[in-house]
Structure 1
Amino acid sequence: MPIFISHSHQDKDFVDNLAKMLVVAKHHVWVDRWELKLGDSLTSRIQESLTGSSAILVILSKSSVASEWCKRELNAGLIRELEEKNTIVMPVVIDDCSIPLFLRDKLYANFNKDPDEAFNLIDSSLARISNPTMSRFLQPEHKTDYAFDWRSAPANELHDGWLLRWTFIDHADSMEFSILSECRIYAPKDAEEAFFRAARNGRQIEFGRDVLAAIGAILDRKPLVENIEDNLPKFVAFQVKCMGQSFAVQYNYRRLGVDQGTDTIVYLDNHVKLAMDYMNSVIGGGQ
């Protein structure tokens, strides 16, 4: 789910710059000017985003603390905190304004004092809830650590050609081994160019999510369950079509650690589902 930025439109220059910096830092943000389209209901769209956001950055300035609309957004966030018993509202001070009473006991990011330190505080605070590129999934008997990355430039002699990559490690205190697996995406020139166009607009994560969703649709019909007998790396490969492009999928996997003398079943399709559900929860679902 995105990060909602509550602010006065008189502070739009600051907010636009902050939002762009957060996008570069791989956070998914919701700013009304970016999201609202002609004819949209202002009240319903903002209410929907306030209710569904992972967190609410409240921009505090002389303009916003005097704004009745901003006060409503703040109240909505504080009510969510009480109901969900979780930190939802994160104050951001940008000028010498009066801090609202119910925010005075909160740590706030102070751009009026040290902009770099303030941004780093926001970045680190949001990382645990809004970074779609890495996480940990708790399974009934083990943990799965996950990371997503991509190639930042056209292929050259330093790369084997993969464009997108999801990496997973399954491990547990009760197991003396772990499973390392990678879902790598290879793309022809046209598909690669489409990805770099998306990346120039800051939408590489959404592009990856859509490719992963296409893979998930295939694995829904044909689950990917493999038996690991030894320490040697193995792989499966298939094709997937997405956004009018064709991609090659190579799923590499291997077992690391102590040889138990028995085979290990690994549910590679479950990795895709976990990553897809997580990315959708952070950046929103749908192509």
Structure 2
Amino acid sequence: MPIFISYSQADSPFVDGLARQLVALKHNVWVDRWELKVGDSLTEKIEAALTQSSAVILVISKNSVDSLWCRRELNAALVREIEEKRSIILPCRIDDCEMPLFLRDKLYADFRADPDKALADIDAALAGISNPFQARFEEPEFITDWAVDWMTDHDGNEIIRLHFVDHGPSYVIVSRCTIICNPAAARNFREQRRLGKTSDYISHVLEVLDNDIENSPLVPAPVISDQFEKFVAWNVASEPESFGVVFTYRRMGKDTGFDTFVHLDNNIRQAREHIKQVNFEPDQPVP
């Protein structure tokens, strides 16, 4: 999900610079003036963005402290922190204003003394949100840790690997999806890496897999009945590209005495959605 930037319109020059720097650092930011179009409902659009955002950057200044709209956004973000029981507010102080009462116990990025360090602090705080190559998915029954890497093997094949660890109540399922690119796909992957668009290409590959998932051995869900590693393999094509896919999986931990269904297709979809969200970049105004 994008990172919502809450600010006073009077601080637009600073916010434009900050937002462009964050986009250059591969963060997905939401700035109202970049997103809103003529005819849009200001209240509805901002409420949706604020509700769905992964984090809220609060630009704290004399202007924002005096802004009724900014106070409303702060209150909404505080309510989310209480309801979700996690920290989502990242304060950025840009002048010698008085800090709002409910933010005084929070560390903030101080753009007054050292803007470069403040930007680095924000970048580090957003790393867990904006990294397209690893994440954690949390559901009532399972927590899934996920990461992706890629390599060129000894034969020159381009390979993408997705690693998953599904944490259950008394056991874990460890799985790995290995995707081998055909020559056309390999050329495209190398070119996208050269252009700095690795995550875009991996997102494309996962979309190809997801679109064909109903025809794969992952549906219906495979069953694990013992500790031995299992695997399924298939090919998927999107001419002129094609991909060989091998999915290995095994159960570890306490033996419950019951078979376990593994929804590996859901892992693919979650990884795809995470990369898609992180990769999203809003249209930026022409300077």
Q: TM-score scaled by structure 1?
A: 0.70
- Contact 2:141–2:169, Cα closer than 8 Å, also in 1: no
| 8 Å contact from structure 2 (residues 212, 236) kept in 1 | no
Partner of 2:285: none
Percent identical residues: 42
Tell me if 1:217 matches 2:214. no
Contact 2:185 2:241 in 1 (8 A): no
Match of 2:179 among 184, 208, 217: 184
CA distance in 2, matches of 1:103, 1:265: 46
Match of 1:253 among 240, 245, 248: 248
In the TM superposition, what are the counterparts of 1:1-287 in structure 2 within 5 Å? 1-137=1-137, 144-149=144-149, 160-162=157-159, 164-169=160-165, 179-184=174-179, 186=181, 188=184, 192=188, 196=192, 205=199, 208-224=202-218, 236-241=233-238, 246-253=241-248, 267-276=263-272, 278-279=274-275
SS of residue paired to 2:113 = coil
Cα 1:193–1:38, aligned 2, differ >3 Å: closer, same or farther? farther
**Contact map agreement 2:143 2:168 (CA 8 A) in 1:** yes
Pairwise CA distance, 1:28: 2.4
- What is the CA deviation profile of residues 177-201 of structure 1, one whole-angstrom value per residue up to 9, with x for unaligned ones? 974513426362698289739966x
Between stretches 270-279 and 87-96, larger displacement belongs to 270-279
Measured against aligned partners, the alpha-carbon deviations of 1:165-222 in whole angstroms (never above 9, x if no partner) come to 42334578966x974513426362698289739966x7x5455445424422322354
- Contact 2:55–2:88 under 8 Å retained in 1: yes
The offset of 1:230, in angstroms, is 9.9
CA contact (8 A) 2:233 2:247 kept: yes
Shift in alpha-carbon separation, 1:220–1:237, aligned structure 2, 3 A: closer
C-alpha distance after superposition, 1:36-76 (max 9, x if no partner) = 23433322211110121122110112333333332332232
Shift of 1:6: 0.9
Instruction: Give the letter for the 1:239 counterpart.
Output: V
Task: Give the drift of 1:83.
Answer: 3.9
In structure 1, what residue type is equivalent to 2:124? S
Q: Distance in 2 between matches of 1:82 and 1:265?
A: 35
SS of residue paired to 2:95? coil
Letter in 2 for 1:86: R
Corresponding letter in the other structure for 2:59: I
For residue 98 of structure 1, give the secondary structure of its aligned residue in structure 2: coil
Structure 2 length normalisation: TM-score? 0.70
Whole-Å separation in 2 of the counterparts to 1:28 and 1:167: 24
CA distance in 2, matches of 1:166, 1:233: 16
Task: Give unpaired runs (5+ residues) of structure 2.
Answer: 281-287
Gaps of 5+ in 1: none
